[in-house]
Structure 1
Amino acid sequence: MASGRGWIRQQHIDQLHRQIAERVTKPVPPFPLSSKQAQQQMSFPTVNSAKAVPLKNGYARKLYASKKSQCSQSSYIDKIPSEIVLKIFSYLDTVSLLCVGSVNKRFHELSKDNLLWYQICSTLPPMKNSRWKPKHMDKVAEILNTSSLQEKPPGYWKKTFINEILANRSNKITQILKSVKHSMGIPNNIEKVVKMSGLHWALTFKDTSGRVKIIKQMDVFFRHTSLTLFWGCLLWPSLESVTTLQLHGITPVLLDKWMPQTKNGPQRLSLIAEYNLSNFRSSRIIGQDAMVDVLLLYPGLLLGVWKTTSEIAFVMATLHYDQILEISTLGSADRPYIIPPHVPVLDDIDPNYGLHGYQLHIDMHSGPRTYLCGTFRNLFCLRDYIRNGFLRLSAISMKNNRQHAPLVGKVGLMWKTPTFEGSIQNCFMMDVTVLDEAEKPFWCFSSPVSLHPSKNSESLYDFMGQSFTLKYEDSEGKVKTELVWMKETEEYYIINLVLYLSTKKVNSWFGTNY
């Protein structure tokens, strides 16, 4: 041990002498030197001098102290023999070995050693539901020796291991998706499945310089047909420099219990939605309070901006349960999962096929609060009401007082940050689930909405109070709602709720030609 420490010290001294010699060969600066600098320069040997500067020199000691850390990192790590590095790597677990391969180029090459990865593959328990069954190292050693393993190209066994892990993950995800229970065509055990798969969600910000910042979710609320995600932190990227915002679903690659789980282990990203923030100021403001303005980004994302600084305060996103597991796990980091097209079931007997038998489930909420949750069955549309490319389905009629429904409680969108919290008046989340005659999801969405004063107040002459409207529209349909504020009970009443389904979507779904 003593001889080893002496060798290390001698390496320090030699490295220091080489740096001093290189410094002497630099040209003399054109500006005049002070007396102290001139004295220090005169103390250095000339280029042709064979004598080294002694360590007792004050300048040499300062240079030694300032370069100590850099010298040790650049000289010792590079001079460690590869055999010793591989021996150290053999004590690492799988996740640590994958991470150490990203330190530098040398570690990357050494971490691909075939014998190293074959030992890892051979000592792990058999992978359940996998085509590959690793054998024990002692049995294999009788047939294969070190030379035969090294005949494979570098990284062969590492690639084999990673491919089998990804195949095992795919099988595990498939099993998890099959375990989902459906009620009326919608998954009803999402919270349990999310915990089983380790699924969580994150925001990815990209700025003009190409830098990327990932922020994981702070909180999540599970509802009947959707979930709401919250992000709140103290160090948001500047909106002036951010160009793109992406919403990803993240799942761990190692899903088996026998594999070590780490916080920063390998993960797989699945792109859900991408938003352009280069011109975020043109986004629609759906609500505000004394501290923040809330911007709506389609689909289903809310961006809270501080009024004083015009910077991000919080981010909220709402996702409908329909196909949520597929789009959160089966996509890639830069491409979303493409939902397979629906195959229509033709019916030549019913002349009004595709115009009746619809069901509507609607949920209006904010966080843990529920303002309205109801189901409307046997909705239909007559041929005469197919106009402007839409089928008209009436769920709540203004003329039928028994159908009118109240919004329970004080309506508002709750938000929070690590330091503040508040509520945006007349804003909330709305989940709409439309099922066809076979109770399959026909049109599903979850989106933030807001109430606005109605311009047609004269049509509500039977009611006392101010009238409001709520509208939503996308490529598959529209929702129009009329409400009235009842002063006596201090609550909103829905007096008219109409759905408009796109005839293009209906014809594609049922194979008709309306």
Structure 2
Amino acid sequence: MAAGRGQFFLSLMQGLQQVRPGGCADPGKKPDLTHPAGARVKTSLTPLHLSGRAVMCENPKPSLLPRPRPPLLPLPPPSLPPPSTSLCAYTPSVPYSHENYIDRLPPEIVLKILSYLDADSLFCISFVNRQLHKLANDNAIWYELYVNEIANKKWRPRLAILSDDTSSVQDVPPGFWKRLIFRELGCPKDTIWRKELGHINPYTGMPAQVKQILGGQRVNWEITLSLRGGQELVFKQDHTFFSDSSVTVCWNSGLWPRVRQVSTLQLHGVIRPFKGAATNKPQWRSLISKTVVSRQEKWKFLATDKLVKLLHFDEGITVGVWRGTWIIAFVMANLHFHKLVERSLLGSPSCPYRPSEVSPLYHGVSDPDCGLRGYTVFIVLHNSVRRIMRRRYFPVLGLTDNIGKGFVHFRPKYEHTPVLGRISFPWTAEGLQGEIKNCCMMTLTMLDEDQRPFWCVSSTVILLLSNSNHEQFVLPYSDVEGRVRMNFVWMPDMQQYFLIGLQIRVSVEKLNKHFGKEFFSPLGH
């Protein structure tokens, strides 16, 4: 059977070579005296089955010679995509049409389509052509956007201009509602939230509605890591924790580089887009702080556990790196409430907000005790998930007989204050969780005699052993403006820490600048 099939296909190929499609042998060709079958062919009307149809070939004169072999005809080129083009990406060419199908739509249909856009997209589409410019500036669309955006800000007072009667919407000049919504919502309007900042919490001395104002202004925080090769990586916040006088922001997701590859770390306040708006558009950014990470003398090692190490930088920035690889695991920032709203909104992408200078409180006053009495100290220990301890001291007096090395000594009245739970620093990164013991965040607010913020601190601190009996501990902090030392004692029976002492030292230079008078020389007496 296999031999029969082979003979059939051989005869078919020979017939295709000898017979033209739809014709017969060419008499002008030199005859081939050989025949594959070894026999002469009779001249007659012979049907040839080719491609499922019979073709009759007529020879006018009988001849015993075999038919001449016709020349091979070239096959038509296959209709396949170019070799460099993949089959999935190949599409047949479509003739280009200059017809504008949007012009054929009724204006009502186009307005209905445009009503689903947000303010940013509606503003951009108005520059396509004259027709879309006219339709995208329709007062009815912008009026609906204005009503929806004002309704989402529930902490703001509802304006009297909004009413249920929309008959007068088109009576205003063209573009009225468009200009109004960009003036009201396109940039932070400080006339409203500045009034809210005037409500001060008497216990903490800080604005009482900082969290509500930041939420109403849609403020988030982002960090930008500038690598040494010039690349920039932007990370959005993953978690926030609002304490009494500060907010802790955490970034713990994404692909992080090694800490040695980072040149600078920038912290920005970012205004989130409106609800339903596209998130890939440029957003307002206000620089809060910029930390030079490449200078290793700025690194301050705090503590470690089995997985991560804690590094502390300026401006309350704490970085956790994986042990052994030095790849960043997470970043935390402890931001003090003092001027936080202004720093998050009123700065530029490259320059931070600078508050206006306040006139000295006691400029020209000859009383030597002015500026050294009636202070208030509010201190909070916390981490990224809970508050550990808080305490308010009033009044706090400055001691003029303990001036040394350019610092004035402040000592509040001693009262034992219990600590709620363990002093720890929990963290989360890449699905893993951990807790670093004897480490937390400290937020200190020092108010002057006029209850104005005098010294504000928000930083990560470490609890150190003070003596050899493992019962007394000290929690220190220092910078160029002052020093803090908190003394703790561990009660084994109660399994609890107690704060038994607090010492604060403020630089003489800071006192002289704040009060506008020369208290003492920075070098001592």
Tell me, yes or no, whether TM beats 0.5: yes
Aligned to 1:205: 225
User: Does the Cα contact within 8 Å between 2:196 and 2:209 map onto a contact in 1?
Assistant: no
Alignment counterpart, residue 253 of structure 2, candidates 211, 229, 233: 233
Whether contact under 8 Å (2:482, 2:507) holds in the other structure is yes
The percentage of counterpart residues that share the same residue type is 28
Q: Work out the CA distance in 2 between the residues paired with 1:190 and 1:140.
A: 37
Query: Which of 338, 341, 361 lines up with 1:322 in the alignment?
Result: 338
Q: 1:465 to 1:239 in 2, by over 3 A?
A: closer
Aligned-partner SS, 1:395: coil
Distance in 2 separating the partners of 1:279 and 1:71: 58
Asked whether the 8 Å contact 2:115–2:141 carries over to 1, the reply is no
Opposite residue 200 of structure 1, the aligned amino acid is N
Q: 1:423 and 2:435 equivalent?
A: yes
In the alignment, residue 401 of structure 2 is paired with which amino acid? D
Residue in structure 1 matching 2:500, options 469, 480, 495: 495
Q: Deviations over 1:208-245 (max 9, x none)?
A: 44333322111111111111111111422444543222
Spell out the pairing of 1:212-223 with structure 2 (5 A cutoff).
212-223=232-243
1:480 to 459, 463, 485: 485
Q: Mark the CA change 1:467 to 1:85 in structure 2 (over 3 Å): closer, same or farther.
A: farther
Query: Partners of 2:397 and 2:189 in 1: how far apart?
Result: 41
RMSD: 4.1
Indicate the SS of the match to 1:124.
helix
Task: Indicate the residue corresponding to 1:408 in structure 2.
Answer: 420
1:437 to 425, 449, 452: 449
Letter in 1 for 2:248: T
- Paired with 2:84 and 2:513, the residues of 1 have a C-alpha distance of 78
Equivalent position amino acid for 2:284 in 1 = R
**Shift in CA distance, 64/196, structure 1 to aligned 2, threshold 3 Å:** closer
Q: Which of 208, 216, 220 is residue 196 of structure 1 equivalent to? A: 216
2:316 paired residue among 295, 300, 303: 300
Q: How many residues align?
A: 423
Paired residues of 2:118 and 2:276 also in contact (CA < 8 A): no
Distance 2:314 2:76 in 1: 70
Unaligned 5+ residue runs, structure 2? Answer: 1-74, 151-157, 520-525
Aligned to 1:56: 78
Residue 355, structure 1, aligned to residue 372, structure 2: yes
Asked if 2 retains the 8 angstrom alpha-carbon contact of 1:357 and 1:380, the reply is yes
What CA distance in whole angstroms lies between the structure 1 residues aligned with 2:412 and 2:332?
29
Which residue, 392, 412, 415 being the options, matches 1:375?
392
CA–CA distance in structure 1, aligned partners of residues 87 and 480 of structure 2 = 67
Larger Rg: 2
- Native 8 Å contact 2:377 2:393 kept in 1: yes
Alpha-carbon offset, residue 268 of structure 1: 1.2
Relative to structure 1, the CA distance from residue 111 to residue 229 in structure 2 (aligned partners, 3 Å threshold; closer, same or farther) is farther
* Counterpart residue type for residue 471 of structure 1: P
2:267 — aligned with what? 247
The question of whether the paired residues in 1 share the 8 Å contact of 2:259 and 2:321 is answered with no
1:68 maps to which of 72, 85, 90: 90
Shift in CA distance, 471/138, structure 1 to aligned 2, threshold 3 Å:
closer
1:77-156 aligned within 5 A:
91-92=113-114, 98=120, 110=128, 115=134, 118-119=137-138, 123-124=142-143
* 3-state SS, counterpart of residue 200 of structure 1: strand
Give CA-to-partner distance per residue, 1:127-150, whole Å, 9 cap, x none: 9899x99x9896689xx9xxxxxx
Q: Distance in 1 between matches of 2:461 and 2:245?
A: 16
Q: Is the 8 A contact 2:252 2:331 kept in 1?
A: yes
Query: Which whole-Å deviations, capped at 9, do the CAs of 1:72-122 have from their partners, x for residues lacking one?
Result: 8xx96x9776976999997446966846999xxxx9963797546544698
What TM-score do you get using the length of structure 1 for normalisation? 0.70
Report if aligned partners of 2:396, 2:413 keep a CA contact under 8 Å in 1: no
| 299-308 vs 165-174, which moves further | 165-174
C-alpha displacement at 1:357, in angstroms?
0.4
List per-residue Cα deviations over 1:284-342 (Å, max 9, x = no partner).
Answer: 11111001001111111111111143211111111111111111111112211111122
8 Å CA contact 2:286–2:352 kept in 1: the answer is yes
The match for 2:290 is 274
For 1:505, what is the secondary structure of its paired residue? helix
Match of 1:340 among 344, 347, 356: 356
The change in CA–CA distance for 1:98 and 1:82 in structure 2 (over 3 A counts) is: farther
Give the match's secondary structure for 1:336: coil
Q: Tell me, in whole angstroms, the C-alpha distance in 1 between the residues paired with 2:308 and 2:503.
A: 32
